[in-house]
Chains A and B, each alone.
Chain A
Amino acid sequence: MSTHPITVHPARSFKANSHDAVNDPHLRKSFRGAMDFLMAKRAAQFPDHNELEALRSLGETVRQRCLAKLPQLLEKLEAQLTANGVKVHWAETPEEANAIIHGLIAARNGKLAVKGKSMVSEETELNHYLEAHGVQAVESDMGEYIVQLAGEKPSHIIMPAIHKTKAQIATLFHDNIPAAPYTEDVDELIQLGRNALRGMYLKADVGISGVNFAVAETGTLCLVENEGNGRMCTTVPDMHIAITGIEKVVEKLSDVIPLYSILPRSATGQAITTYFNMISRPRQPGEKDGPREVHLVLLDNGRSQAYADEQLRKTLQCIRCGACMNHCPVYSRIGGHAYGTVYPGPIGKIISPHMLGLNDTQDLPTASSLCGACGEVCPVRIPIPEMLMRLREEAARDPEEKVPHPLAGQGAAYSPQLARVWSLWRTVYSRPALYRAFSWLATRLRVFTPRRQLGWTVHRTPLTPAKQSLHELVRQRQSSR
């Protein structure tokens, strides 16, 4: 498995990637079909519009209250988990998180880690790091396992292998799982995966997982899943390491209830997932299974930058349901890989600039028609279109300009020429006499309008003024009455 190359899709080549993606009819068809399916399933879960809106408002208020108290809640979580016997670690960067996790595994001379689904570990490229340090890391979520065998990255945060066909998976399993026959029967394929991975749970030294909600009040890590691989990773090996972002903490156990009610319905259109796994302690004396050591790694990775700004802080309300991608006309046309970021789609466009800086991600906030679908379905009411506009503004801001909370890569899309044009326009537009003179000249000299008009003509035909300005036309019309 470790011999496969890791395909990276840097966000800088977003334009080229998306161009390739829209020209791949197979990819477009499979994403279109999958997104239509998920949208219909979600809609069926919310027959009562008022209940949905009330639940979204509740989810939003819960998340906002938790974020408002974030530093206190993190300390409380740490204290409560520590009292329960769970060790808490803090990492500012992906490198720090990886080093902590590897250190823990190395301390018990571990060679094999089984992993439950964790997007945060994708952020840190943990698998890659562990392999480089002699620890094999096996993804156990079926979708993640498929993607790992293929040497790829997930193309959706909930359904990682959504871009793969049965036939491709049949070949992958046949080539990679010892003695696996070639079959395109989905039940048989799942059984092949199940058996291969059960062998891994038996041998694994450590289980790694993500966290959906970390409850400060009780010191509890909550994991949401259907497959049972998350439970395997957190039950069978003798050590469990959970990794999550600092924003995942909630204050009270009751906060989890509305969030868990709306999460699976928004994500996959299920009333509930098969398992909701609440972990509060390592194995206690007398208990016969569960890990004897449990660790939680809290990762910042740019989240504190989003936190510093009142508007952008709302980005951190996200519960990673994926509904915004399922409903996004851009995502459903280009798929998840084109973005080149761990989180694709609308949530990826608003969170990645904090993780990677605007220099690498300046195109992402522009890849939107601002249709608003993402904001309308978001279960915690993140105003995603507003965030996109704000990030466009920050990318276009003069890098030298002093602002209270500068973003990494401020001014990545700044063009001095464009800035001059706008400042000229501001002067003209705010002085009536000047504006009248300008519009008179622009209409009378319309044949001399330049054909190249900076950013405008990159994708559009040049603008040519009309023969007369609107003001003139209206005046004529009024005097002829």
Chain B
Amino acid sequence: MSARDRILGKLRAAAPAQTPVEPDVAGYYARHTLQHALPARLAHFSHMMRAVHTEVIYTRADSWPQALAARAAQAGWRHVLLAPNTAHGARAAQALQGLATPPQLKSYDRPIDDWKAELFHDVDAAFTTTRAGIAETGTLIVWPDADEPRAMSLVPPVHIALFDASRLYENFYQAVSTEGWANGLPTNSLLISGPSKTADIQQTLAYGAHGPRELIVLAIVPDDIDLAELEAAQ
């Protein structure tokens, strides 16, 4: 008999006969989900994100590439990784190339195995999109894919995340149930709530433990929301 059969046999012999109480996860979240309008949700999202050292930049659908370019010029990144064959990647590339001293652009066009060392040593910042956000905890939902693989939000020291702020859920439950995640998940899916951090040395918080030291969120705010009011709502 295999270890599997022995373990399952022991468990089956002991499993309780009566049907267990069914937890009411949906009911709990029906009672505990806030119903805030987008500006309030967004203000809370930024508050939570900034509390853990994330930089949140409010921008608009037509001007985010300029915001990205301005931030790149300020930081002086020399090598930026992005996905030029996506619509947002192409716009980002165009804006960055328009800079007086443009960074060298790289794309994740080969399997990691072919350029591991370069990815680790010669990329200053990576630019990716995000799937959605969660207001309650200040969280980005990222589903890496062939254009923007997993390591892009992990290996380079800076991660710039483009976030369509109209896709901001109140909480994790709302995201999972609205999008029907239970029907299938991709190879890898992520919640990201800030730059990498640790408090393993004398409970002293330090950023940039293994992943990005900086997380910059370029939040595309719908035009009907006033940006100055949004900042003031913090």
| Interface of A toward B, CB cutoff 8 Å | 34, 37-38, 51, 54-55, 58, 61-62, 64-65, 68-71, 74-75, 90-92, 96, 140-143, 146, 159-162, 164-166, 169, 186-187, 189-191, 193-194, 197-198, 201-202, 217-218, 220, 226-229, 231-232, 235-236, 238, 246, 252-255, 257-258, 260-261, 268, 271-284, 286-290, 298, 300, 304, 307-310, 313, 405
The CA of A288 and the CA of B155, in the complex, are separated in Å by 14
The CA of A456 and the CA of B151, in the complex, are separated in Å by 62
- List the B side residues contacting A284 at CB < 8 Å: 187
Interface residue? B74 (CB, 8 A) = no
A403 to chain B, nearest CB (A): 14
Knowing A161-B200, A288-B108, the reply to whether A276 touches B210 (Cβ < 8 A) is no
What are 25 inter-chain pairs, A to B, with CB distance below 8 A? A54-B32, A64-B21, A71-B15, A91-B3, A140-B210, A194-B210, A226-B199, A227-B200, A227-B209, A236-B116, A236-B151, A253-B185, A257-B29, A271-B48, A272-B193, A274-B197, A275-B192, A280-B189, A281-B188, A288-B108, A288-B110, A288-B111, A288-B149, A290-B187, A304-B10
Knowing A189-B201, A304-B14, the reply to whether A232 touches B210 (Cβ < 8 A) is yes
- List the A side residues contacting B172 at CB < 8 Å: 257, 260-261
Contact assessment for A254 and B25 in the assembled complex, using a CB-CB cutoff below 8 Å: yes
Q: Which of A193, A202, A289, A313 contacts B150 (CB 8 A)?
A: A289
Contact assessment for A141 and B10 in the assembled complex, using a CB-CB cutoff below 8 Å: no
- List the A side residues contacting B16 at CB < 8 Å: 68, 310
B15 to chain A, nearest CB (A): 6
User: Binary interface profile of B, 180-197, with partner A (CB < 8 Å = 1, else 0)?
Assistant: 011011111111111111
Interface residue? B35 (CB, 8 A) = no
The CA of A166 and the CA of B137, in the complex, are separated in Å by 31
Contact assessment for B196 and A228 in the assembled complex, using a CB-CB cutoff below 8 Å: yes
Q: Which 6 A-B pairs have the closest CB atoms?
A: A228-B211, A68-B20, A143-B200, A276-B191, A61-B23, A227-B209
Knowing A96-B3, A227-B196, the reply to whether A69 touches B20 (Cβ < 8 A) is yes
Contact assessment for B202 and A165 in the assembled complex, using a CB-CB cutoff below 8 Å: yes
Interface residue? B178 (CB, 8 A) = no
Q: Which of B10, B110, B113, B139 has the most CB of A within 10 A?
A: B10
Contacts between chains A and B (CB distance < 8 A), count: 250
Q: Which of A252, A279, A309 contacts B188 (CB 8 A)?
A: A279
- List the B side residues contacting A65 at CB < 8 Å: 20-23
A169 to chain B, nearest CB (A): 6
Q: Which of A37, A65, A276 has the most CB of B within 10 A?
A: A276
Interface residue? B73 (CB, 8 A) = no
Contact assessment for A288 and B7 in the assembled complex, using a CB-CB cutoff below 8 Å: no
B85 to chain A, nearest CB (A): 13
| Interface of B toward A, CB cutoff 8 Å | 2-4, 6-8, 10-16, 19-26, 28-29, 32, 48, 52, 108, 110-113, 116-117, 120, 136-139, 145-146, 149-151, 154-155, 172-173, 176-177, 181-182, 184-204, 206, 208-212
- List the B side residues contacting A278 at CB < 8 Å: 185, 188-190
- List the B side residues contacting A282 at CB < 8 Å: 187
The CA of A92 and the CA of B210, in the complex, are separated in Å by 34
- List the B side residues contacting A92 at CB < 8 Å: 3, 6-7
Knowing A228-B211, A289-B111, the reply to whether A277 touches B190 (Cβ < 8 A) is yes
The CA of A226 and the CA of B188, in the complex, are separated in Å by 17
The CA of A197 and the CA of B154, in the complex, are separated in Å by 14
A161 to chain B, nearest CB (A): 6
Contact assessment for A146 and B200 in the assembled complex, using a CB-CB cutoff below 8 Å: yes
- List the B side residues contacting A142 at CB < 8 Å: 198, 200-201, 209
Q: Which of A54, A227, A257 contacts B198 (CB 8 A)?
A: A227
The CA of A251 and the CA of B22, in the complex, are separated in Å by 11
Knowing A253-B176, A279-B188, A304-B10, the reply to whether A161 touches B201 (Cβ < 8 A) is yes
Chain B residue at minimal CB-CB distance from A290: B150
